Amino acid sequence: MSNFVDSAQLHAKAGDGGAGCVSFRREAHVAKGGPDGGDGGRGGDVWLVADTNQASLLGFKDHPFRRATDGQHGTSKRQHGARGTDVIVTVPVGTVVKDADGEILVDMSGPGDKWLAAEGGLGGQGNARFLSNRRRAPAFAEQGEVGAEHWFNLELKLKADVALIGFPNVGKSTLIARVSAARPKIADYPFTTLVPNLGVVRVGSRAGRPGDATEFVMADIPGLIEGAAEGRGLGHDFLRHVERARVLCVLIDTAPTALHAPDEQLEILLRELGDYQADLLDRPRVVVGSRADLAEESHGVDFPISAVTGEGIDTLVSQLATLVAQARRDELAAVDHEVVIHRPIPEEVIVERVNENTWTIEGRPALRAVRFQDLTDDQALDEVVRRLKALGVDKMLARAGVRDGDVVTCGQLTFEWWRDQGGSGLDRDHHRTTRRERLARSGRLDLGDGDDDDD
């Protein structure tokens, strides 16, 4: 089984928020102690962090689930629940995160980059939070918010110094095994390499002076075929690893037994690179003629080599080290990478028509406004109305075309909409029903027009 995985899935589940507490102070010689329910703790977040110590997505192949812990519930005496523990998920630098539809959400291109994959739910406020001059004994509290939960597709784009590019069975694996400690599978048939192999090449070290050495990472990219840029074979899976390589090393088979002539091989490879991503042709590159020990002529390549006899290997490696060092200097001069913290764009409140007489209100702010433990409590409903009006939901519904008698749902809250010239369809001062009537409607909350006949 290969230890390199360049695509995987991630299921991120943030922790749920703890519930707020409904409690009243009860002590001897303390009359009317008042509410003292504490808040629930916030659920833990799930963060993705780009780490240079990670080389592949192998850890997600069989274990894609990452979950943060829930927040604790609030208790009496205004004691708040503990916050849930965040989960830090390390991924290799160069990991691209996509949603289920294939849209790119974030590109973790630099070491230390962070992305909030799933945000923990807010803890519910205890009843002590709702004490006011108008509300002296609030008997309600908030439920904890459910933490976010998402599936993501992860793709890794290697950031190697040198990418070996060539047709299948052209000698790439043999070359990387010759110049590094990598031990890829080598055999006399095409597509021996099915996943990229990485090798660290050390150049210029001398006995007793290892600090003089120059190191660079060489990637053996699986063989390309004509049509790879259009996705033929596994073209896109292979080509994406070339995107971030600093130097391209194009291998051409110069042996008489090659399937294509050397000039034709170079033309096809460069065309596939350009069709996939045009700026790849602007990268520093060297054209290497492999199997020079079998070639009858040089074919105009930059470096004829033979991985079997060692001919031209040292010269090639030295040139690659020079090009890599220059590319690194150019990158440092162009940009100094700073750690980037990516967060999802906040959700907005959206009003949608379900059918002719039914509407829904979506969006995290609106759902947060109605997350009370007891939606049959009149004081809790007053707070819900206040919050929804503060978000402008009544105006949004009116602009959307809601009519008197239509049913509107927001999370666990369902009510009938009524509006007159005197007030909003959410205004309980104009539209009130008894608690008995609301419970008689199969659990549906009715804020419709009616006489003021509260119990």
Which CATH number characterizes residue 329's domain?
3.40.50.300
Which of 155, 184, 211 is the last residue in one of the domains? 155
Indicate yes or no: pTM above 0.75: no
Which of 276, 305, 334 is the last residue in one of the domains? 334
Taking the C-alpha atoms of residue 56 and residue 278, their distance in angstroms, rounded to an integer, is 26
Same domain? 101 vs 132:
yes
Same domain? 82 vs 108:
yes
Average pLDDT estimate for 35-61: 88
Residue 99 lies in a domain: yes
Taking the C-alpha atoms of residue 319 and residue 325, their distance in angstroms, rounded to an integer, is 10
The candidate with the shortest Cα–Cα distance to 381, out of 125, 24, 139, is: 139
Name the more confident of 230 and 62.
Answer: 62
Least confident segment among 12-16, 289-293, 389-393, 416-420: 416-420
Q: Is the pLDDT of residue 239 over 80?
A: no
Residue 55 lies in a domain: yes
Report pLDDT for 33.
80
Residue 345 lies in a domain: no
Same domain? 231 vs 256:
yes
Same domain? 371 vs 292:
no
Same domain? 213 vs 128:
no
Report pLDDT for 190.
41
pLDDT in tens, 303-348: 988 877 888 898 999 999 899 888 878 876 765 566 677 777 777 8
Least confident segment among 23-32, 44-53, 309-318: 23-32
Alpha-helical runs (H) found in 33-83: 58-61
Q: Is the pLDDT of residue 145 over 80?
A: yes
Report pLDDT for 18.
95
Q: Which residues contact 371 (CB under 8 A, 6 or more apart)?
A: 124, 142, 143, 144, 145, 411, 412
Structural domain count of the chain: 3
Least confident segment among 153-167, 206-220, 274-288: 206-220
Same domain? 292 vs 385:
no
Residue 451 lies in a domain: no
- Phi, psi for residue 248 in degrees, rounded to 5: -105, 130
Which of 268, 301, 334 is the last residue in one of the domains? 334
Tell me which residue range forms the domain holding 53: 1-155
Same domain? 190 vs 255:
yes
Same domain? 272 vs 303:
yes
Q: Is the pLDDT of residue 47 over 90?
A: yes
The CATH number for 146's domain is 2.70.210.12
Q: Is the pLDDT of residue 234 over 50?
A: no
Residue 172 lies in a domain: yes
Same domain? 354 vs 379:
yes
Same domain? 265 vs 243:
yes
Task: List, as one string, the DSSP characters of 289-324.
Answer: EE-TTT-SS-TT-SEE--TTT-TTHHHHHHHHHHHH
Same domain? 182 vs 222:
yes
pLDDT in tens, 125-134: 999 999 988 8
Radius of gyration of the chain (CA): 32
Name the more confident of 297 and 404.
Answer: 404
- Note whether 3 and 197 are within 8 A (CB): no
pLDDT in tens, 364-421: 889 888 988 888 888 888 888 889 989 998 889 888 888 888 899 998 888 888 765 4
